[in-house]
Amino acid sequence: MEFRPSLIRATLLGFLILGIGSRLLMRVVALMQGTPPAWTFEGTLTVVFLGTVSGLGAGIIYQLLRRFVDKASVRTAAFIAICGLISWRGVHGVPPVQQAMFMALAVVYLILVDVLGRLATRASGPHDMSFSHTG
């Protein structure tokens, strides 16, 4: 698996799931609380940007684990634990129901990154960790 596709995949998933997904989930939370509809371009842009950057960060963590941890199950557990703890810190102080909703979104993201990373590894060979600029 090449470095660049791995980061692109994690970042795009971050954009979709952590960025857009979080923004939609924020709307659901507001509806649950009876808050009147409100939307700002700046607020949406911030949430989507932070989700994308979080995806990039998770991609870097995933790639570092791929490089230094040989056993796939240990890699997966470490990836979910590390990123899960970072996510938990991000929703600290949020009411419990909303906290659970955002953590579920983060776990879906982490599982997808791991599953797609494993599939890409199978497609390219078990230890192809090149930093090639050809593809």
Q: Has residue 32 got a pLDDT over 80?
A: yes
The answer to whether 14 touches 51, Cβ cutoff 8 Å, is yes
pLDDT in tens, 36-54: 878 899 999 999 999 999 9
Q: Has residue 2 got a pLDDT over 90?
A: no
pLDDT at 123: 80
> For the chain, what is the mean pLDDT?
89
Query: What is the mean pLDDT of the segment spanning 96-122?
Result: 94
pTM of the full predicted structure? 0.85
Domain ranges of the chain: 3-124
Give Cα 84 distance to the centre of its chain. Answer: 10
Residue 109 identity: Y
Q: Has residue 17 got a pLDDT over 90?
A: yes
- CA-based radius of gyration for the chain: 16
pLDDT in tens, 63-87: 999 999 999 999 999 999 999 999 9
Q: Has residue 126 got a pLDDT over 70?
A: no
Residue 86 identity: I
pLDDT at 131: 46
pLDDT in tens, 86-106: 999 999 999 999 999 999 999
Write out the DSSP string of the chain: --HHHHHHHHHHHIIIIIIIHHHHHHHHHHHHTTPPP---HHHHHHHHHHHHHHHHHHHHHHHHHHHH---HHHHHHHHHHHHHHHHHHHTTTS-HHHHHHHHHHHHHHHHHHHHHHHHHHHHH-TT-----S--
Closest to 17 in 3D by CA, of 97, 117, 119, 103 = 103
